[in-house]
Structure 1
Amino acid sequence: MKKLFPSLLQGCLLASVLLSAKIADAQLLARIRIKTGAYKCTDIPVSVTLSPAAIRAADSLQLTEVTKGQRKPVLYQVEGERLYWVPGKTSGPDTIRTFELYKQQTSYNSTSRLMQLEDSAGVLKLRQGRAPLLNYNYGMVYPPAGVDTVYRRSGFIHPVWSPDGQVITNIHPRDHWHHLGVWNPWTHTSFKGKETDFWNLHKKEGTVRFKGFISRTTGNIQCGFTALQDHIAFTGNKETVALNEEWSVHAYYSNNTERRIWDFSSLLSCADTSGIEMLQYRYGGGFGLRATAAWTAATSYVLTSEGKTRKDADSTRARWIKITGTDNGRQAGILILCHPDNFDYPQPLRVWPENSEKGEIMMNYSPTKMRSWQLDYGRSYALHYRVMVYAGDLTPQEAEEAWQAFAHPPVTDVSWTK
């Protein structure tokens, strides 16, 4: 643990300092209560909007949890007008927990930024301490030498690491050069009266390209980014931006060395007044994953919220899907949660059958698998997913609890002092 997560030890030392700090002379700003729903919550980020006085005191805040009259310090992060924290430990169903926010002369919140970004050579790495979580490739990535450069792409995630350091994604596999870790281009669309495919790059009809960062975030509770990506349609030598997309990816601090959580959102808006229609098709858009080649029908298994497996998950709807595989004797997996606000929820799945593609895994939450989706100019359309990457395995109950906490997060109630 010391080798992989030295910052956690630093956090523990910080907590010891905080526990000994006296707050008798501090100014109480707010009491915050959070209430869980009918399911347990573990390592779920929560946030509240700060008062003007708290915003002005952002550099000298102290957050504590009150339990049986005892106050325990809690790490937090201020982003704009909101206060973020991860309550830590498991909250049982219908549990109320109380927190107090103080203004002090000296803030005891860690300044080490436990959740970090590392930017190098077109890659933005998200980390907890020294442990890598995922890479966002904003620079252009080319296929292996000798392969048609039409398969070059930017704006995708790879690698994704498990908490114990395993790489669980794959890019440019020989069978599908255009598969890129975690990515979500739209496949069968109608743009300006022409069918346009942004997924299958060899068709030379379109692509997705990173345009720029809107924001980046680091701190004790979360790290991440919001990036602008363009869906670009090709007509001969002419390029036309058909769709603007904001990718928002944020990872959250966790005390659990076997679990990591990050949120993935796609905000779509038409770049052209003609709009665009996402035509009904068996895959495309949403959330796409090409798993490591080590995970095959013989070394992995799939389970959905509806009890479907690799044998029958394709073309079914699911609130969540989890994929667990073994690589060199080590087991890890990924759980993808679909938010109830998403288009055509619960969204249909594209899952390769176990007897195809050498048994390897490609899955896609495909919003338009069952019906088309018209996007009009001047409006925005959002898709939200949460990802839990884990070492070992998850039980179906743990997967369901994670989805419930995502779909029905703890309710917060804030009482500000005068």
Structure 2
Amino acid sequence: MRSILIFCLMLAVLLDASAQRSETVRIVNDHIVRKNSIVKFQLKSAVGKENIYLIDNNKKKYPVQFLKDGYACAIMSLNPGEVKSFKTIRESGSASKAEVLLTEAEAKFTVNGKQVIGLQTGKKDLPAEIEPVFRRGGYIFPVLSPSGLSVADDYPLNHKHHHGIWAAWTKTEFEGRKPDFWNMADKTGTVLFEGIKNTESGAVFSTLESRNAYFDVSVSPNKKVLDEDWQIKVYNTEGDEKPYYVFDLELRQQLSSASVLKLPEYLYGGVGFRGNGEWNGKDNAYFLTSEGKDRSNGHATTSKWVHISGNISGKLSGISILSHPDNFRSPQPMRIHPTEPFFCYAPSQAGDFEIRPNQGYIARYRFIVYDGAPEAAFINRMWNDYAHPLVIK
């Protein structure tokens, strides 16, 4: 018995020593300027994944967080072609964190104690002027700037079915019927929030996985059409030029039956954004696209990104929406409303398509929220970093 105890103690010491052993990581950047970039790399040791940092030759420390695919990641800045070497260290105590805090009505994403966004579950009381048919969950609201301004709106009275950042299809055909999942007041289709599956907080990012369900309510009993899985990821970024928040949305849709969902050509549908109520009116919201277009000439054109901004309580603030190059029909066409702060990447503008069994639909977008005027060079740099991430294999 005594020999077994000694063996266990020795094994524990060896495991602890292995966890403490430093590892060298060599990061070689490509041709892209990277500032506060999410860099992925591999660590050989699978032991002791908590409180790991990279430390460079100048003794600057970079928190490390592990991903489900086995890679580790850290946020750092790199010049084109730059090569940097790091050592891994472990330190007790917690670094600044990106966190997910769950309540019945909302999942709150915070960075260093300040809320960035929320995921609504549909459990809040509706405003008195909103009819029950408009109740929704499974969308992002609020969307806050670093100064605390809310750049999004929820249940606006002129479009009660608009919600911060949300997703729905509009013109559809399913089993001979035409459910509209966007315009809920028509009572042919709806989207229900089914729940949160996983959450994770960490020094580099926080993440949440949730599910929505699309129902055809034009038939009795109502029939589920789509399962829609969301992954939201909020990064613990610190802007060098200016403060900004960065978060990603990945959306995956799968049919719930063997029936095809047809999506005829239409003006809007997909992932939408509704801006702050003060941005209502043709001259109160400003649009800038990656192709240099604005509200007057940007609708029904395509873009890699769009920035939407306006004054809130006398202060200019806004959001950049970056569309991933792997998205369906990328660069995707856009719906830009002529008088309201509404935007949507709308792949159905480019013609009919279908979601078929075992095929699915995937969409990815990155959002950058900051105060002040948009700068095309800044957004282009952020899009390049998003479209071509640095992965060290």
What TM-score do the two structures reach when normalised by structure 1?
A: 0.84
Offset from partner CA, 1:7-30 (integer Å, 9 cap, x none): xxxxxxxxxxxxxxxxxx963334
- Contact conserved, 1:136 with 1:156, CA < 8 A, in 2? yes
User: After TM superposition, which residue ranges in structure 1, 4 or more long, deviate above 4 angstroms?
Assistant: none
* Counterpart among 255, 272, 281 of residue 270 in structure 1: 255
- Contact conserved, 1:279 with 1:373, CA < 8 A, in 2? yes
Q: Counterparts in 2 of 1:1-400, with a 5 A limit? A: 27-38=21-32, 40-51=33-44, 54-59=45-50, 61-66=52-57, 70-80=58-68, 81-87=70-76, 90-102=77-89, 107-108=90-91, 110-111=93-94, 114-141=97-124, 143-256=126-239, 258-285=243-270, 287-296=271-280, 297-353=282-338, 356=339, 360-400=340-380
* Counterpart among 383, 389, 392 of residue 409 in structure 1: 389
One-letter amino acid matched to 1:361: P
- Contact conserved, 2:104 with 2:123, CA < 8 A, in 1? no
Aligned equivalent of 2:15: none
One-letter amino acid matched to 1:48: F
SS in 1 for 2:119: strand
Distance 2:391 2:46 in 1: 22
Greater shift in the superposed pair: 307-316 or 390-399: 390-399
Q: CA deviation at 1:365?
A: 0.6
- Contact conserved, 1:115 with 1:253, CA < 8 A, in 2? yes
One-letter amino acid matched to 2:39: V
Q: How many residues align?
A: 372
Distance 2:50 2:292 in 1: 48
SS in 1 for 2:303: coil
Aligned residues: percent identity?
26
Closer/same/farther in 2, CA of residues 50 and 373 from structure 1, 3 Å limit? farther
Q: CA deviation at 1:32?
A: 2.8
Q: CA deviation at 1:113?
A: 5.5
Q: CA deviation at 1:94?
A: 3.2
- Contact conserved, 1:143 with 1:177, CA < 8 A, in 2? no
Closer/same/farther in 2, CA of residues 302 and 372 from structure 1, 3 Å limit? same
SS in 2 for 1:28: coil
SS in 2 for 1:402: helix
SS in 2 for 1:56: coil
- Contact conserved, 1:76 with 1:85, CA < 8 A, in 2? yes
One-letter amino acid matched to 1:291: G
Closer/same/farther in 2, CA of residues 60 and 45 from structure 1, 3 Å limit? closer
Q: CA deviation at 1:194?
A: 1.4
Greater shift in the superposed pair: 376-385 or 303-312: 376-385
- Contact conserved, 2:52 with 2:64, CA < 8 A, in 1? no
- Contact conserved, 2:54 with 2:88, CA < 8 A, in 1? yes
Distance 1:59 1:173 in 2: 43
Closer/same/farther in 2, CA of residues 60 and 33 from structure 1, 3 Å limit? same
Closer/same/farther in 2, CA of residues 60 and 140 from structure 1, 3 Å limit? closer
Q: CA deviation at 1:143?
A: 4.1
One-letter amino acid matched to 2:74: W
SS in 1 for 2:115: strand
Distance 1:230 1:34 in 2: 43
One-letter amino acid matched to 1:96: V
- Contact conserved, 1:323 with 1:335, CA < 8 A, in 2? yes
Distance 1:28 1:72 in 2: 16
Distance 1:49 1:234 in 2: 48
Closer/same/farther in 2, CA of residues 136 and 321 from structure 1, 3 Å limit? same
Q: CA deviation at 1:206?
A: 1.1
One-letter amino acid matched to 2:311: T
What TM-score do the two structures reach when normalised by structure 2?
A: 0.89
Distance 1:352 1:142 in 2: 29
- Contact conserved, 1:36 with 1:91, CA < 8 A, in 2? no
One-letter amino acid matched to 2:364: H
Closer/same/farther in 2, CA of residues 164 and 61 from structure 1, 3 Å limit? closer
SS in 2 for 1:277: strand
One-letter amino acid matched to 1:307: G
- Contact conserved, 2:38 with 2:390, CA < 8 A, in 1? no
Greater shift in the superposed pair: 71-80 or 387-396: 71-80
Q: CA deviation at 1:298?
A: 3.0
Consecutive unaligned residues in structure 2, runs of 5 or more? 1-18
One-letter amino acid matched to 1:150: V
Distance 2:350 2:194 in 1: 31
Consecutive unaligned residues in structure 1, runs of 5 or more? 1-24, 414-418
Distance 1:376 1:221 in 2: 36
